[in-house]
Homo-oligomer: A and B are copies of this chain.
């Protein structure tokens, strides 16, 4: 479970308690406002071990280091660039992924949920169906529902054969950085909005679930593209010394 920018320490404690009741133990906190904190400990009500072992991270990419499948919790169904499922539909897939590699369940900050940048890190969105006129679940309550569904799904889970072996988060992010840099170099962004275009490319590749070898191939293409571009530029400058 990864909680991003949690404002109230009591919510961190309550989330830890919710996790432990369902047999989950690994908690990551991205820039919590107050942690450790007596309120967190009080609300954990015996799940202190989870708080003690919680990993505090400075960025989402640090929290997702080594993670191959990230699920983003979202209260909003609009403007979502990834597939969104109910907890009940999603959890078998989450278990399937978790059978062979680290999986992250990502929860946003209390007031506004996950940022677009954070959503862009996820391969799947999960929305807890709620009252359309009052859909804001408390973050610890969301953790409880998700942990409960995960635990319920685990009762009847049989691992299947994975067709793809997705690369870890940091490798995929490395590709995106390389891609953005290359598109910038070849002048692609002069006609396109970089942020929006990168969101769309993230969407495409998060659907595909890139394997390590595929990232090597794509980055190879990017490298050659840059070199080709550099050679073109050099030749142009050679031929047009007077420019």
**A-side interface residues toward B, CB under 8 Å?**
14, 17-18, 20-23, 43, 45-47, 88, 128-131, 134-138, 140-141, 144-145, 148, 151-152, 155
Smallest beta-carbon distance A46→chain B, Å = 7
The residues of B that contact A43 with a CB separation of less than 8 Å are 138
Smallest beta-carbon distance A20→chain B, Å = 5
A88 touching B152 in the complex, CB below 8 Å, given contacts A134-B21, A136-B21: yes
The residues of B that contact A137 with a CB separation of less than 8 Å are 17-18, 21, 144
Copies of this protein in the assembly total: 2
Smallest beta-carbon distance A234→chain B, Å = 62
16 A-B pairs in the complex with CB atoms less than 8 angstroms apart? A14-B138, A17-B137, A21-B131, A21-B134, A21-B137, A45-B138, A88-B152, A129-B152, A129-B155, A138-B140, A138-B144, A141-B141, A141-B144, A144-B144, A145-B145, A145-B148
A141 touching B45 in the complex, CB below 8 Å, given contacts A21-B131, A135-B21: no
In the complex the two chains form, is B17's CB within 8 Å of A130's CB? no
In the complex the two chains form, is B47's CB within 8 Å of A141's CB? no
Smallest beta-carbon distance A131→chain B, Å = 4
Smallest beta-carbon distance A44→chain B, Å = 10
Smallest beta-carbon distance A128→chain B, Å = 7
Select one of B47, B135, B140, B141 contacting A134, CB under 8 A.
B47
Taken together as a complex, chains A and B put the C-alpha atoms of A144 and B138 apart, in Å, by 10
In the complex the two chains form, is B46's CB within 8 Å of A141's CB? no
Question: Closest 7 CB pairs between A and B?
Answer: A141-B144, A23-B131, A20-B134, A21-B130, A21-B137, A145-B148, A18-B141
In the complex the two chains form, is B45's CB within 8 Å of A136's CB? yes
The residues of B that contact A145 with a CB separation of less than 8 Å are 144-145, 148
In the complex the two chains form, is A136's CB within 8 Å of B46's CB? yes
Smallest beta-carbon distance A73→chain B, Å = 14
The residues of B that contact A22 with a CB separation of less than 8 Å are 130-131
Select one of B17, B88, B138, B148 contacting A128, CB under 8 A.
B148
- Nearest to A18 among chain B residues (CB) is B141
Taken together as a complex, chains A and B put the C-alpha atoms of A138 and B14 apart, in Å, by 8
The residues of B that contact A151 with a CB separation of less than 8 Å are 129-130
